[in-house]
Amino acid sequence: MNTVLEIKEIRKSFAMNHGRARVFGAEYKNVINDLSISLEEGMVTSLVGGNGEGKTTLFNLISGLLRPDNGQILYVGERESIDCILSSPWQIARAGIGRMFQGARVFDELSVKDHLLIQARQSEGEKPFSRMLRPARSKKLENELSERIYHELKGFEEFRALWDAADTPAASLSFARQRLLSLAGLLVGGYDLLLLDEPSSGLSRESFETLYKLLDVMRERGKTVFLIEHNMEFIKKAADTCHYMAEGRIHFSGSPEEVLDHADVKQSYLL
């Protein structure tokens, strides 16, 4: 089995009482503390731990939204292989890493279709402003991408319902449907590695089935999923392997059942 993401001894600290700024003479707190982890191709890997233990910070480091103080984050993808520390968020996404954030993130002025087209264009390696320079080609590509989007979404009832409302402003959707739109965008984006931050949050029981099906499709396609989650039932059903994170490092790993049954994990989640 091939390693898709290799993280070696990364560390990230923030100045206390100064947010993310580097402040001379300030006291610093290590949020990520010499953390190492690798992700295997075609696996769904879950990351669990209490609040404030550095899980979302880790995702921000992988995504290029933050830079670590030291260490390595190496990605080996089908599109290209990159050093995430030396790459911009756009370059990381173009290389094949897609992300779903913890909250619903939509552009108020864009429609459902616009959001999905942006993700689909990303998979083509096209920069957003290129459509302004080549409008004729852009229109042809938009039609081709629309067909591809429909083909990808038609097997998912809730995704298909989103596409049926393609002209609806994304901001007018409920929180749950905005989350579904984020998941649909990752599917049409053709990413090889998905970073999902609490994907089950805000979803109905029916939407859970859509999420399970999406993860199964990703497995079948040999894609890799790395998710942060607090829903124990979801982790046990969805994940292949699990890591427990505390104090900015991985303390132990194993099957979801082994990790979630550990006393430290039960204490973190007050089970």
pLDDT digits (tens, 9 = 90+) for 201-222: 888 888 898 999 999 999 999 9
Instruction: Give the alpha-carbon dihedral of 210, 212, 217, 218, to 10 degrees.
Output: 120
pLDDT at 25: 61
pLDDT at 75: 98
- Over residues 162-178, the mean pLDDT reads 93
CA distances to 118, 145, 173, 193 from 110, rounded to whole Å, are 10, 17, 12, 25
What contacts 115, CB < 8 A, 6 or more positions away? 106, 107, 170, 181, 185
* 109-168: pLDDT as tens digits: 899 999 999 998 876 665 554 544 444 457 788 889 999 999 999 999 999 999 999 999
Helix (H, G, I), strand (E, B) or coil at 245: strand
Residue with tokens 């089970």: 271
What contacts 232, CB < 8 A, 6 or more positions away? 260, 269, 271
**Predicted TM-score (pTM) of this structure:** 0.89
- Over residues 218-232, the mean pLDDT reads 93
Three-state helix/strand/coil letters over 110-144: CEHHHHHHHHHHHHCCCCCCHHHHCHHHHHHHHHH
Give CA–CA dist 80/25, Å, rounded: 40
pLDDT at 33 over 90: yes
User: Residue 120: which of 81, 87, 163 has the closest Cα?
Assistant: 163
Residues of the chain above pLDDT 70, percent: 90
At CA 2, angle to CA 181 and CA 10, rounded to 5?
Answer: 75
User: Residue 172: which of 101, 102, 110 has the closest Cα?
Assistant: 110
pLDDT at 107: 87
Higher pLDDT, 107 or 127: 107
* 44-73: pLDDT as tens digits: 999 999 888 999 999 999 999 999 999 999
- Over residues 227-251, the mean pLDDT reads 94
Q: Which domains does the chain have, with CATH numbers?
A: 3-268 (3.40.50.300)
Give CA–CA dist 269/271, Å, rounded: 5
pLDDT at 133: 42
The CA-to-CA distance between both ends of the chain, in Å, stands at 34
Decide the pairing of beta strands 81-83 and 70-76. Answer: antiparallel
Q: Where are the alpha helices (DSSP H) in 154-222?
A: 157-164, 175-188, 205-220
Residue 206, CA atoms < 13 Å, CB-side half-sphere: 7
- Per-residue pLDDT band at 24 (split at 50, 70, 90): low
pLDDT at 135: 46
pLDDT at 18 over 60: no
